Amino acid sequence: MDIIKSATAGTMESSDAYVEIEPGNGKNEISVESVVWMQFGEKIRTAVEEVLNELEVENAKVRVVDRGALECVIRARVETAVLRGKGEK
Amino acid sequence: MNKLVTTIKEAVELSGLKNGMTVSFHHHLRNGDYVLNMVMEEIARLGIKDLTVNASSLFDVHLPLIEHIKNGVVTNVSADYISGGLGRHFSCGVMENPVSFRTHGGRPSDIISGKTPIDVAFIAAPSCDPMGNCSGKYGKSACGSLGYAMVDAMHAKKVVVITDNLVKYPLADWSISETNVDYVVSVEEIGDPKGIVSGTTKITRDPVGLVMASMAAKTIEASGLLKDGFSFQTGAGGASLAAAKFLKEIMLEKNIRGSFGLGGITGYMVDMLNAGCFEKLLDVQCFDLSAVESIKNNPNHMEISAQHYASPTAKSAVVDSLDVVILGATEIDTDFNVNVHTDSNGYIMGGSGGHSDTAAGAKLSMIIAPMFRARLPIITDRVNCISTPGKDIDVLVTQGGIAVNPKNSELKERLVLSGLPVISIEELKEKTERITGKPEKIKKGDRVVAEVVGRNGEILDEIYSVC
């Protein structure tokens, strides 16, 4: 799936995550900031990678600012950002 | 005889304060307090060094203290509670010596026994007469009870009262009497009323908080303790207050008349007093305006000292007669040890206050907490810091079930018979981790930045650096 424009999903509220996506420079680049980095940092990164793989996104910059969201929330926010970035309504 | 001096500087000089001594402060003005900063600034200007600050609690308003630590004016700190903004500096190792945390009962006990003597106590008084009779009930900076300051005033070698409402002699309704006071200083303002008392402490509207609060009230009802003569303390947290509201409804419906409400007092406890749920309130600190008004006007709303509240070495303290206390936790482990000192990343952001004292004294000590906060499970294998030992905790109430400490099998039976959702703490931990995932353990730093002194003087735990 091609990301053709920048898009966002989610909020900065506690227990939510804010996701920004934009077209990449040839591959996926993921950055994660999290209030629970020490406890869940790796799990969050893996979840983001998995969602991108499932949606066949191969060339995007993704920035996740996690405010302590459950994994299902992070996955949903990333998926929404991807679908918005590919131009779907 | 003249005790009135014109400046804080003069009072500090007259008190004979020297390098290496101990000064004390109390926290009734909470995050609105100006007195600690004003006094420490004068002390620093006078070039006095190497002091111990013994404060009943420290708040973010006291951030200038960090400069005094960096400059060597203050080299030791002892407190019952340190709020997060200030705590972060201690966690990052700003002070060479570890902070000494005590409980609200342990602090007066150690002051009275001479274990932690005070050279000069500085009392922030919303009203005072020229001879030092003072009260927290009157004046533009009224804070209600002066319970924590009473012990400092009675046992410090020198006592300086600082007020912004100097009244004619005698101020008859005193909390601290002139017999203990050496000097009185009148200043423009001792604090910011907005930081001293909250307008109203609010009940939670969070549905999870309300579910927990309702279960907490039902747990108390099922415990067998809720009958005439019932006594109760609750924290000022949103869910704890909501539990008090549900409890009030049950008490009114069943026409139960309790004996006393205890603690830091909020408007909700005042409402319970006025509705006839309790005969008395025993108050060591007022949290909001409604509590300040009540302690001033209602003779059944009594001021008590920190010693009378919770000291383990007093011949008896009110906590020894307490039936039920509702308390919070940042973490609780499968042995029911509770952490209220550090956040999930290990930074200092609180302290025991009266947590351990009431947990030890109450017949039923209840922790109320959500299964997780911002993805972090509340239940761990071992808390990052033991603030209150698990032996003193009876039950944990969460939205996912009620876990009873196995030491209290009678309570468990009662709750099961009442149809409440009882679950083992291990199962509750697993249930939570199925939702959140299992967190990695945080890494501790290599320096001890604080030690937690239990109410009986034992070292309960050490807090390590984070940065």
| Residue A48, pLDDT score | 97
Domain B4-56+104-195, architecture per CATH: 3-Layer(aba) Sandwich (3.40)
Nearest CA-CA partner of B105 in B358, B287, B329: B358
Tell me if B374 and A70 make a contact (CB, 8 A cut-off): no
pLDDT tens string B217-248: 999 999 999 999 999 999 877 788 899 999 99
Contacts of B439 in chain A (CB under 8 A): 36, 39-40
| Residue B201, pLDDT score | 65
Using 70 as the pLDDT threshold, list the residues of chain B that sit under it: 199-201
pLDDT tens string B259-304: 999 999 999 999 999 999 999 999 999 999 999 999 999 999 999 9
Tell me if B375 and A69 make a contact (CB, 8 A cut-off): yes
Tell me if A40 and B344 make a contact (CB, 8 A cut-off): no
- The nearest alpha carbon in chain A to B443 belongs to A38
| Residue B134, pLDDT score | 98
| Residue B324, pLDDT score | 98
Two tokens, residue B36: 């600690």
| Residue B325, pLDDT score | 98
Q: Which residues contact B7 (CB under 8 A, 6 or more apart)?
A: B42, B185
- Per-10-residue mean pLDDT of chain A, 89 residues long, equals 93 96 95 95 96 95 97 97 82
Domain locations in chain B as residue ranges? 4-56+104-195, 207-441
> Residue type for B201, please?
T
Which residue among B375, B435, B442 places its CB closest to the CB of A68?
B375
Tell me if A40 and B442 make a contact (CB, 8 A cut-off): no
Q: How many whole angstroms separate alpha carbon A32 and alpha carbon A17?
A: 10
Does domain A7-85 fall under CATH 3.40.50.10420? My reply is no
Which residue among B373, B375, B435 places its CB closest to the CB of A40?
B375
Which residue among A39, A67, A69 places its CB closest to the CB of B442?
A39
| Residue A89, pLDDT score | 46
Cα–Cα distances in Å, from B462 out to A18, B84, B91, B99, B465? 36, 17, 12, 10, 10
Min Cα separation A17/chain B (Å) = 11
Asked if residues B80 and B104 have their Cβ atoms less than 8 Å apart, the reply is yes
Spell out the CATH class of B207-441.
alpha beta
Domain locations in chain A as residue ranges? 7-85
Q: How many whole angstroms separate alpha carbon B451 and alpha carbon B342?
A: 12
Nearest CA-CA partner of B334 in B385, B399, B403: B403
| Residue B199, pLDDT score | 61
**A33 at B interface, C-beta within 8 A:** no
| Residue B202, pLDDT score | 74
Q: How many whole angstroms separate alpha carbon B128 and alpha carbon B121?
A: 15
Task: Say yes or no: ipTM exceeds 0.85.
Answer: yes
| Residue B238, pLDDT score | 77
